């Protein structure tokens, strides 16, 4: 529903060498280590107090609790593990999941939100600093995902990006289930604190929105006649960036390319089509001799001219429209409402002339701090076909207030070829002030330098506002 890149892109296959012998042991450990109870408000408060303390002594606690959990590979599940570890680094997501669970507390079995609930428990476990090394199992979340799509645990070829899109759309779907059922309930049916929450004027769906969701502005214009279709806004939860066929490029260049004005040659232009229909009717009118036909043609002509002078999208079902494909059309997409979490997918699939696919190993230079402002609309939308929807402005030190700054939180990397390989994650360690980074490959967790992170062959990037 929210995917811009829903076309059937071949995915990177994974064939993990990691064994599964320790699965049962780890599942037992995991079951013992995680409470089966949903998050209660009290627990949430306790955790808030705790995290405040941690913020005050971030470096101190990093020394005292230097470890983070790894994830056991349940057989080709590195694509899942890499996504879970990336998601665990995102504070907006953790806040969102907790809120959803609090809202759904009145439903004792949480049947409305199985994925939200199990993801909440998993990312909580993964984001917790520990005194000792620990490996947990993703079995809980895998079981919930499997109920939605049985191939997740059975298929041999899996893709981390494809899985992310499914998880994100299911989170939105589950939130709608929770809040639509809540909205239909009278506050009298809800107890104390929840009743207060639900009786607020605000629509809870707006208060708790999937943090990956942003909106982009799309414009199509015909250069031939100057017509611009209505600028439409679409929701997205991730953006797929096509990489150039070069050895290296920058992320900003990819975003520049994504938001630049593109040329199309197959757009059916409404204004060109109505103009051509008008000419055709006028010719018929010149040749017509019978009075009833002349009268009918005049009426038809008047309706077309009315549409041309006013609303081009007026439906004219009984008039045969001459379809004109414009030879020169421009298309542009820009960010209209940037999301709290920006997920960028670096599309590394190359389609060869022999029908095969290959991997594009272009090294993408990405920043720790990303300013999205040059790729966003600014409220003044242009309908001129050859001008940008909004003027790109480079953020200079003088207009810092215009910048829309994101901080890099995690990176999914893919090793290997297009058809087989392995997914792993680089993620920021602890809270966002931390400059320490982790490299996590299934159950192996190690501390690394930022330099290593910035030189990796990124497949997905997660930035947070």
Residues that bind Zn ion (CB under 5 A): 222, 224-225, 227, 269, 271-272, 326
Name 174's Cβ contacts closer than 8 Å, sequence gap at least 6: 100, 112, 113, 114, 115, 116
Q: What's 221-289 look like in SS3?
A: EECCCCCECCCEEEEECCEEEECCCCCEEEHHHHHHHHHCCEEECCEECHHHHHHHHHHHHHHHHHHCC
Residue 404: CB minimum distance to Zn ion, A: 34
By beta-carbon proximity to Zn ion, the closer residue of 169 and 326 is 326
Q: Which helix (H) or strand (E) holds 364?
A: strand 363-365
DSSP designation for 395:
P
CA–CA separation, 382 and 49 (whole Å): 48
Residue 390: CB minimum distance to Zn ion, A: 23
By beta-carbon proximity to Zn ion, the closer residue of 44 and 328 is 328
3-state secondary structure of 334: strand
By beta-carbon proximity to Zn ion, the closer residue of 269 and 458 is 269
CA–CA separation, 269 and 327 (whole Å): 10
By beta-carbon proximity to Zn ion, the closer residue of 63 and 309 is 309
Phi and psi based region of residue 226 (left: phi greater than 0; alpha: psi -120 to 50; beta: remaining)? left
By beta-carbon proximity to Zn ion, the closer residue of 51 and 224 is 224
Residue 336: CB minimum distance to Zn ion, A: 25
Would you tell me how many other CB atoms lie within 10 Å of the CB of residue 307? 20
Q: What is the chain's alpha carbon radius of gyration, rounded to the nearest angstrom?
A: 27
Phi and psi based region of residue 430 (left: phi greater than 0; alpha: psi -120 to 50; beta: remaining)? left
E-only strand ranges, 74-159:
135-136
Which tokens go with 289? 């001799």
Distance set, CA 42 to CA 39, 271, 424 (Å): 8, 61, 35
Residue 234: CB minimum distance to Zn ion, A: 23
Residue 328: CB minimum distance to Zn ion, A: 9
By beta-carbon proximity to Zn ion, the closer residue of 385 and 421 is 385
By beta-carbon proximity to Zn ion, the closer residue of 167 and 231 is 231
Residue 225: CB minimum distance to Zn ion, A: 3
Residue 223: CB minimum distance to Zn ion, A: 8
Would you tell me how many other CB atoms lie within 10 Å of the CB of residue 128? 17
DSSP designation for 380:
-
Residue 381: CB minimum distance to Zn ion, A: 19
Residue 209: CB minimum distance to Zn ion, A: 37
Residue 84: CB minimum distance to Zn ion, A: 49
On whether the CB atoms of residues 141 and 149 are closer than 8 A, the answer is: no
By beta-carbon proximity to Zn ion, the closer residue of 293 and 323 is 323
**Long-range pairs for 204-210 at CB < 8 Å and ≥24 separation?**
204/103, 204/179, 205/175, 205/176, 205/179, 207/99, 208/96, 208/99, 208/100, 208/103, 208/175, 208/179, 209/96, 209/175, 210/2, 210/96, 210/168, 210/171, 210/172, 210/175, 210/237
By beta-carbon proximity to Zn ion, the closer residue of 270 and 409 is 270
Would you tell me how many other CB atoms lie within 10 Å of the CB of residue 82? 31
Name 306's Cβ contacts closer than 8 Å, sequence gap at least 6: 314
By beta-carbon proximity to Zn ion, the closer residue of 43 and 328 is 328
Which tokens go with 316? 């004219």
Residue 316: CB minimum distance to Zn ion, A: 17
By beta-carbon proximity to Zn ion, the closer residue of 86 and 271 is 271
By beta-carbon proximity to Zn ion, the closer residue of 188 and 309 is 309
Would you tell me how many other CB atoms lie within 10 Å of the CB of residue 291? 8
Residue 271: CB minimum distance to Zn ion, A: 5
CA–CA separation, 58 and 71 (whole Å): 24
């Amino acid at each position: 529903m929210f995917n811009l890149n829903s076309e059937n892109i071949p995915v990177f296959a994974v064939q993990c060498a990691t064994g599964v012998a320790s699965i049962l042991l780890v599942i037992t450990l995991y079951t013992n280590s995680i409470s089966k109870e949903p998050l209660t408000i009290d627990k949430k408060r306790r955790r808030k107090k705790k995290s405040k303390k941690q913020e005050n002594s971030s470096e101190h606690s990093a020394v005292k609790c230097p470890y983070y959990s790894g994830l056991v590979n349940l057989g080709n599940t590195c694509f899942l593990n890499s996504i879970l570890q990336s998601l665990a680094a995102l504070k907006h997501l953790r806040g969102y999941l907790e809120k959803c669970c609090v809202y759904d507390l009145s439903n004792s079995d949480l049947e409305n939100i199985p994925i939200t609930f199990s993801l909440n428990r998993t990312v909580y476990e993964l984001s917790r600093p520990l005194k000792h090394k620990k490996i947990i199992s993703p079995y809980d979340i895998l079981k919930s995902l499997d109920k939605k799509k049985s191939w997740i645990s059975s298929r041999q070829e899996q893709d981390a990006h494809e899985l992310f899109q499914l998880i994100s759309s299911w989170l939105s779907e589950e939130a709608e289930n929770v809040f639509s059922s809540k909205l239909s309930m009278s506050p009298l049916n809800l107890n104390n604190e929840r009743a207060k929450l639900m009786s607020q004027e605000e629509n809870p769906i707006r208060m708790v929105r999937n943090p990956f969701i942003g909106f982009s502005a799309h414009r199509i214009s015909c250069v031939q006649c100057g017509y611009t279709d209505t600028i439409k806004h679409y929701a997205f939860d991730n953006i797929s960036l096509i990489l150039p066929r070069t050895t290296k490029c920058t992320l900003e260049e990819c975003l520049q390319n994504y938001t630049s004005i593109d040329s199309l040659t197959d757009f059916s232009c409404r204004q060109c089509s109505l103009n051509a229909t008008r000419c055709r009717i006028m010719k018929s009118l010149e040749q017509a001799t019978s009075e009833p036909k002349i009268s009918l043609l005049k009426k038809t002509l008047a309706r077309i001219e009315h549409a041309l002078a006013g609303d081009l999208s007026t439906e004219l079902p009984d008039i045969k429209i001459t379809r004109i494909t414009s030879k020169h059309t421009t298309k542009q997409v820009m960010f209209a409402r940037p999301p709290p979490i920006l997920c960028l997918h670096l599309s590394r699939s190359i389609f060869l002339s022999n029908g095969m696919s290959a991997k594009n190993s272009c090294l993408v230079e990405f920043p720790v701090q990303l300013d999205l402002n040059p790729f966003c609309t600014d409220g003044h939308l242009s309908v001129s076909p050859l001008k940008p929807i909004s003027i790109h402005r480079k953020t200079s030190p003088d207009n810092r207030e215009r910048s829309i700054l994101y901080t890099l939180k995690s990176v999914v990397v893919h090793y290997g070829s297009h058809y087989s390989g392995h997914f792993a994650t680089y993620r920021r360690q602890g809270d966002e002030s931390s400059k320490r980074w982790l490299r996590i490959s299934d159950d192996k967790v190690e501390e690394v330098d930022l330099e290593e992170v910035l030189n990796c062959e990124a497949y997905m990037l997660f930035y947070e506002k």
